[in-house]
Structure 1
């Protein structure tokens, strides 16, 4: 019996997953959580085999932060990211956080059940187009070899945020311009600073200037 915990801030999603999994002879939902903090606490009490984790939860820890913390505390628990975000940045960060799988909420029920089974057995699971994307990124990095510098490790979105931060835009202005949330902007900024090994805004501006990112056309 695979013990599953469902983590999503939408009650209707949790109910739908419960209905889907109810009656499966080899699967059982042992708990639900509405945010990352609750997920970490309950996982410690219930010790599930698989945690179905949403990414975007407005209250408490988000899915990626919760996944990373949960894997540190319970390395034998598999985290399967179940999200609407078909985005390579989220995909790569989920893998870095220790997630065993990444699947879209739009996936057929049979695919979700197969993904749960796969990660419960200790395997990794990515939906088909994500696998292709991941392999493409890996092969591209191999091709670049030693010529890859810190700037080349940034995603296109991170480069956009880097340029706008260096130009003096506020988080809110960047969020409005890129049509993303302020929280996502803050996450991208943090990733940029970490990848480029920068500590202050002046260092970031200097780096952007060297890379020719400060044209104001």
Structure 2
């Protein structure tokens, strides 16, 4: 059966949350939002990856409070899964600096409190589904503080002369919050070519993840338009 255009535009979301009542509440909020289909649920790390690979969601809402390092291990796997646009982390620990740093390094595209209202959570899901990074006010301040690159001397030859023109274009779009798919469309490039450019840019400017690249690019004056 062929999907209609409206079906194709609906956002497919999977929920990984260890507490059944909270998981049910999150599902209810998403189901009531319109434009979202909850396509899978899991309550523990061991079930999360097979569920996501089978359900093929666009966005994964992931409990960052799973025992031990299970959440981060799951996140690393899901962040690389084909078809997943982003992992949105949830935590009940507040603005935990160590957790946020680890989650960002593991590949989360967003960070929301489990106590967030339905409107905030649904909005965060849509933002991640559209390729943006998301953080609440407190988390945003932590991102800037934790991931700010070392101070660099002023460059007389313009922003980031170590980069080629194309690499600056790529970093500009990364700094706007674009994922590789959107960058490829914007620059009329193959997604594989964009991935290669991103890897080279990260190596040249000395960052380890996209969140660091966003901060780095914006400090250089990129990513501010559009």
For normalisation by structure 1, the TM-score amounts to 0.61
Shift of 1:126: 0.8
| Alignment partner of 1:131 out of 140, 148, 155 | 140
Larger helix proportion, structure 1 or 2?
Answer: 1
* Residue in 1 that maps onto 2:42: 33
Aligned to 1:71: 79
Within a 5 Å distance, the mapping from 1:69-148 to structure 2 comes to: 69-74=77-82, 76-85=84-93, 86-139=95-148, 141-143=149-151
Q: Distance in 1 between matches of 2:12 and 2:147?
A: 33
Shift of 1:111: 1.2
Q: How many residues align?
A: 143
Task: Return closer, same or farther for 1:108/1:63 CA change in 2, 3 Å cut-off.
Answer: same
Please say which structure displays the higher CA radius of gyration: 1
Contiguous gaps of at least 5 residues in structure 1: 146-217
Q: Which runs of 5+ in 2 are unaligned?
A: 1-9, 154-226
Contact 2:56 2:83 in 1 (8 A): no
CA-based RMSD of the aligned residues comes to 2.0
Shift of 1:57: 2.1
Could you tell me how far 1:21 is from its partner in structure 2? 1.4
Residues 50 and 125 from structure 1, CA distance in 2 versus in 1: closer, same or farther, beyond 3 angstroms?
same
Cα separation, 2, equivalents of 1:69 and 1:108: 28
Runs of 4+ residues over 4 Å off in structure 1: none
Structure scoring higher RCO (CA < 8 A, sep ≥ 6) equals 2
Aligned to 2:62: 53
